[in-house]
Structure 1
Amino acid sequence: MAGKTKAAQGEGPVLLSGGNPQIAKGYGDEPVQAYIAAMPGWKRDIGQRLDTLITQAVPDVRKAVKWNSPLYGVEEGRWFLGIHCLTKYVKVAFFRGAELQPAPPVASKQAHVRYFHIHEGDAPDEARIIDWVRQASRLPGEKM
């Protein structure tokens, strides 16, 4: 509960398990940037780079923070991608990732969801990420 005490003292956002920032639900770029700014350590650079790549790949992308995770979509209220901090990596969730070619490498309990994990020190293939983002943005988004 130390994180909650820290936030209560006005020292920054609460970091939930795995270092995931607790950011109020909101729509647009502002809450997403608040989430990214609150990502701890090396994860912040990953969040900034992912946000830049996603925005470059889909210039009209919609953004929101729901369930303490940034979401990206094209249609109102429908999302194709989400980001989440875990202890040892940043998880990029493609909500219809099983339909991407090639599919992101990490399976989910949900058959249509696929993940891509970025660990500290990784140098992810940005061209591959951009390709996945563009493909995902053309698929129907998930209502959340």
Structure 2
Amino acid sequence: MAKARSRPTAARSPDTKPVLLSGGNPQIAKGHGDAPVQAYIAALPGWKSEVARRLDQLIVQAIPNVQKAVKWNSPFYGMEGEGWFLGIHCFAKYIKVAFFRGLSLDPVPPVESKSRDTRYVHIHEEDRLDEERFVSWVKQASRLPGERM
């Protein structure tokens, strides 16, 4: 059996910006902790970076011991040993916040999902985030069993 040749990979310079995928969602390497989430936020185009930064701040203020990771080019937030309760993803015209147990929140977030329990909040450029309600959802979601991903 012939040996497979390995292809040289181009080293990514620290100054190289992440590739933006469809909708402007940045391609960020999978990783746990705050650093990959901050890299994701910094790589978002335009107004989306500012909104994602504020979402991250609100989540951390509400749940100081929140766990963070980037998986599948999206930030996830969860509780240690309990799984993930929230994810963020960037689309062309909005940011989607997924509450994985959203059907159990009061009030239920407005956008339905194909998944029975998941509910979404879509944030468009012209929208004003109801921070009080968002923080309430985050606190409620953090107390529910999370998703194992």
Corresponding position: 1:93 with 2:106: no
Letter in structure 2 aligned against 1:23: I
SS at 2:39 equivalent:
helix
Q: Partner letter of residue 50 of structure 2? A: D
1:7-31 deviation line (CA, Å, top 9, x unaligned): x786410111110000000000000
Q: Deviations over 1:32-78 (max 9, x none)?
A: 00000001110000110000000011010000000000000012371
Q: With the length of structure 2 as denominator, give the TM-score of the two structures.
A: 0.89
TM-score (norm 1): 0.92
The one of 13, 29, 32 equivalent to 1:27 is 32
2:124 to 119, 122, 126: 119
Match runs of 1:70-109 below 5 Å: 70-76=75-81, 78-109=83-114
Paired-residue identity, % = 67
Looking at structure 2, the residues matched to 53 and 77 of structure 1 have their Cα atoms a distance apart, in angstroms, of: 20
Q: 8 Å contact 1:75–1:141 — kept in the other structure?
A: no
CA contact (8 A) 2:77 2:86 kept: yes
What is the CA–CA distance in structure 2 between the aligned matches of 1:126 and 1:59, rounded to whole Å? 17
One-letter code of the match for 1:74? M
Q: Deviations over 1:77-117 (max 9, x none)?
A: 71000000000000000000000000000000000000000
Give secondary structure in 1 for the equivalent of 2:48.
Answer: helix
Question: When you count helix as a share of all residues, which structure comes out higher?
Answer: 1
Structure 2 stretches lacking a partner, 5+ long: 1-11
Aligned Cα root-mean-square deviation (Å): 1.3
Q: How many residues align?
A: 137
Corresponding residue for residue 62 of structure 2 = 57
Q: Contact between 1:27 and 1:65, CA under 8 Å: does it hold in 2?
A: yes
Contact 2:82–2:145 (CA<8 Å) still a contact in 1?
A: no
Q: Which runs of 4+ in 1 moved over 6 A?
A: none
Secondary structure at 2:98 match in 1: strand
Compare CA radii of gyration and give the structure with the larger one.
2
Residue 30 of structure 1 aligns with an amino acid whose one-letter code is A
Point out where structure 1 has 5 or more consecutive residues left out of the alignment: 1-7
